[in-house]
Amino acid sequence: MSADEKFDAIIIGAGPAGAACAYVLAREGKSVLMVERGVTAGSKNVTGGRLYTYAMEMVEPGLYKRAPLQRKVVREQIMMLGTKSAVTVDYADFEFGEDVPQSYTVLRAPFDEWFAAEAEAKGAMVATGILVDELLEENGKIVGIKAGEDEMYADVVIAADGVNSLIGQKTGLRSDITPHLVGVGVKEIIELPDDVIAARFNLSGDEGAARLALGCTEGTSGGMFFYTNKGSVSLGIVFNPEQAAKRGKKIQEILQDLKMHPAIAPLIEGGTTAEYGAHLVPEVGLSGMPKKLYRDGLVMVGDAAGFGINTGVIIRGIDLAIVSGLAAANAVIEADGAAAVGPLYEKQLEKLSLMPSMRLFAGWHNILEMPRMFSEYPALANDAMRFMFTVDGKVPARMDKAMLQIVRRHVTFGQLLADGWRGYRAL
Amino acid sequence: MTIKRQSAEELLGLNKFNVDEGHPHIILDKSICAKCDEKPCLVICPAVLYTLKGGEINFDYAGCLECGTCRVMCKNKGITGWNYPRGTFGVSFRYG
């Protein structure tokens, strides 16, 4: 292709950030090429996961209704696992499922393929099965991409190539990712009949449950996630690779142990594993993001830019990716010349509440990096419950003394104070 | 089926792969790996594709999930080349 067949935008990667960007640009009449290395869009992608619906509504009201989403989440569950026990909080809020449901569980292969097809239907060109090797640069400006022998040109290149963004590194905008910045997620898709899922999680119709758990990673920073889909559940763990390496137990084995935990096994009993996936996730929020998300002729979106929020009960990534893709599209549409795109993209990220949200949660990863969150505190919660619910005919200890003893068994008061202070400062 | 522990091989057997025969996307310099004391790759690869055979690191790129954990964790840079597989090759998630 010669330079006179230039696109308004080339998007690298057909995940949610890329597809949202392509969809909006094509809808507004821009010429867009979206390049994806997988055989189909979504075939290289893995989520926990869920999608917070507001992001789809920002792209286009009602768009989510056409999407191949799984179940609308009305049950938010948190678990603290002991060796052979579990404390589970189950918050059912049916307003989360009314009007525009707040969130849906999602599987990325069908979702991303659908989203890319929607962008294509709006007029975007989607080229799958093509790995982008290089960026083309002229006079310090990114002017296109190179894939194999093919060179393609555009006013703006949008790097939407995911957390392990090799393209992002080639721009010089971000340094190589270090173990501290990411979590490793592994998950199994376990097929189960819908009536079994509904009965085990107390769901009706297309309602779904999302569950997170601590205390299952043998002290490594991380936790379990469990999402109910249509005809399957997603069960996995995410954790810090550096700590996992030090502990020396294989990630895959920790997941197998979790499957056999007496509080987890009954949830998946009778199921058949259909797929095993793994992926990195941006884990430290704002502090893991490149200082600048653009240079002349290029912007970075989604995981490539490091967008991610993890509060311990809320894990956001796909929604932020979609909003960042929308922000990039708006910037391209507004821009008077390619040089204006980057600064406008930054303005859009503010206007669409993305950067303000990232800043609000900037310190939260410090809470999730407290080592005691992953072993001592879950064990403490389980011991406290065991004391409260134990009846064996003997005279039990006084409640206050017993509780004090249980706390002391797991942590010192100094540690408690330090963690409390650290937690407070992180907010 | 009753739920049970599954080995990495069993789990990878469920996935769809299109192996780019003769074109490994991850290249090791085994002489560097031989001098690496930590060998985090043995533990952190979710697919358990790094193994020790007769004291030498063995790596099978065919079952790679393309997560990038080994690239991030490789301390002594025995991984001299890490790229994504060429277009259409590698794992294809059907669920994801």
The domain spanning residue B75 has which CATH number?
Answer: 3.30.70
CA–CA dist A367, A83 (Å, integer): 23
Find, among A312, A296, A303, the residue nearest to A426 by Cα: A312
Question: Would residue B93 count as lying in a domain?
Answer: no
Query: Across the interface, do B15 and A130 touch by the CB < 8 Å criterion?
Result: no
Nearest CA to A282 out of A396, A178, A195 is that of: A178
pLDDT at A367: 85
Nearest to B46 among A177, A184, A232 (CB): A184
Asked if B88 lies within 8 A of A244 by C-beta distance, the reply is no
Note whether B77 contacts A: Cβ–Cβ < 8 A.
Answer: no
Give contacts of A 107-146 with B, CB under 8 A: 107-110, 112, 128-131
Min Cα distance B21 → chain A (Å) is: 17
Question: Which residues of A are less than 8 Å from B94 in CB distance?
Answer: 43, 109, 274-275
Domain with B55 in it = 22-86
Give yes or no for B3 touching A (CB within 8 A).
yes
How many angstroms separate the CA atoms of A413 and A419, rounded? Answer: 10
Interface size A-B, in CB pairs within 8 Å, comes to 153
pTM: 0.96
Q: Please enumerate in sequence order all residues whose Cβ is within 8 A of that of A205, keeping only pairs 6 or more positions apart, or say none.
A: none
Alpha-carbon distance of A33 to A130, in angstroms, equals: 12
Domain contains B40: yes
Q: What is the distance between the alpha carbons of residues A319 and A309, in angstroms, rounded to a whole number?
A: 10
Alpha-carbon distance values, A364 to A45, A94, A284, A285, A314 (Å): 26, 28, 8, 8, 11
Residue A250 near chain B (CB below 8 Å): yes
- Look at residue B94 and tell me if it is in a domain: no
State residue A1's pLDDT score: 45
A276 CB within 8 Å of a chain B CB: yes
CB atoms within 10 A of CB A131: 22
Q: Using the beta-carbon criterion (under 8 Å), do B90 and A272 form an inter-chain contact?
A: no
A276–B14: do the CB atoms touch at under 8 Å?
A: yes
Instruction: Please judge whether A184 and B6 are an interchain contact, meaning their C-beta atoms are less than 8 angstroms apart.
Output: no
pLDDT in tens, A123-142: 999 999 999 999 999 999 99
DSSP secondary structure of A328-354: HHHHHHH-SSGGGHHHHHHHHHHHTTH
CB-based contact B66 A108, cutoff 8 Å: no
Residue A46: which of B8, B88, B93 has the nearest Cβ? B93
- Select from A12, A35, A44, A51 the residue whose CB has the most chain B CBs within 10 Å, as the one to mutate to test that interface: A44
Average pLDDT over residues B46-51: 97
Q: Residues 6-65, chain B: which have Cβ within 8 Å of A?
A: 6, 8, 11-12, 14-15, 18, 38, 40, 42-48, 65
> Exposed/middle/buried for A314, CB within 10 Å: 0-12, 13-18, 19+?
middle
A226 to chain B, closest Cα gap in Å = 14
Instruction: Mark residue A383 as left, alpha or beta (left: phi above 0; alpha: psi -120 to 50; beta: remaining).
Output: alpha
pLDDT exceeds cutoff 80 at B1:
no
Interface contact flag, A241 B92, Cβ < 8 Å: no
Q: Is residue B16 part of a domain?
A: no
CA nearest to B82, candidates B31, B39, B34, B41: B41
Residue B95 lies in a domain: no
Phi-psi region of A180 (alpha: psi -120 to 50; beta: other; left: phi over 0): alpha
Q: Profile chain A (427 residues) by mean pLDDT over runs of 10 residues.
A: 77 98 98 98 96 98 98 97 95 94 98 98 98 96 96 98 94 89 96 98 97 90 95 96 91 94 97 97 93 97 96 94 98 95 98 98 88 92 96 95 95 92 87
* Structural domain count, chain B: 1
Cβ A232–B95 below 8 Å, yes or no?
Answer: yes
Output the pLDDT for position A175.
86
Q: Which amino acid is at A213?
A: A
Please tell me whether the interface predicted TM-score (ipTM) of this complex is above 0.85.
yes
Backbone angles phi, psi at A283, to 5 degrees: -115, -15
Cβ-Cβ contacts under 8 Å, B91 against chain A? 43-44
The overall longest dimension of chain B from CA atoms, in Å, is: 44
Q: Is residue B74 part of a domain?
A: yes
Burial of B77 (0-12, 13-18, 19+ CB in 10 A): exposed
Q: Which residues of A346-365 are buried (b: 16+ CB within 10 A; e: fewer)?
A: bebbeebebbebbeebbbbb
Nearest residue of chain A to residue B73 (CA atoms):
A179
- Contact flag A279-B65 (C-beta cutoff 8 Å): yes
Residues A105 and A235: their CA atoms lie apart, in Å, by: 12
* CB-based contact B67:B46 (threshold 8 Å): yes
The DSSP line for A169-217 is HHTTSS----GGGEEEEEEEEEE--HHHHHHHHT--TTEEEEEEEES-S
Residue A292 CB contacts under 8 Å (≥ 6 apart), including other chains: A173
Ordered domains of chain A (ranges, CATH): 3-70+106-174+290-352 (3.50.50.60), 180-282 (3.30.9.90), 366-426 (no CATH)
User: Would the CB atoms of A179 and B73 count as touching at under 8 Å?
Assistant: yes
Residues on chain B touching A304 (C-beta within 8 angstroms): none
Residue B39 lies in a domain: yes
pLDDT confidence of residue A334: 97
**Beta partners for A174?**
none
The Cβ of residue A196 has, within 10 Å, a number of other Cβ atoms equal to: 16
- CB contact set of A348 (below 8 Å; sequence gap of 6+): A326, A327, A328, A330, A331
Work out the percent of chain B whose per-residue pLDDT is above 90.
Answer: 92
A86: number of Cβ within 10 Å: 19
Contact A46 B96 (CB under 8 A): yes
Instruction: Give SS3 for A297.
Output: coil
Question: Among B67, B88, B81, B93, which residue's Cα sits nearest to residue B25?
Answer: B81
Residue B6 is assigned to a structural domain of this protein:
no
Out of B38, B43, B66, closest to residue A44 by CB: B66
Q: Using CB atoms, pick whichever of B5, B43, B94 lies closest to residue A109.
A: B94
Estimate the share of chain B in helix, then strand, then coil, as percent rounded to the nearest 5: 25, 20, 55
CA-based nearest residue in chain A for residue B6: A256
A167 touches chain B (CB under 8 A): no
How far apart are alpha carbons A7 and A32 in whole angstroms?
Answer: 6
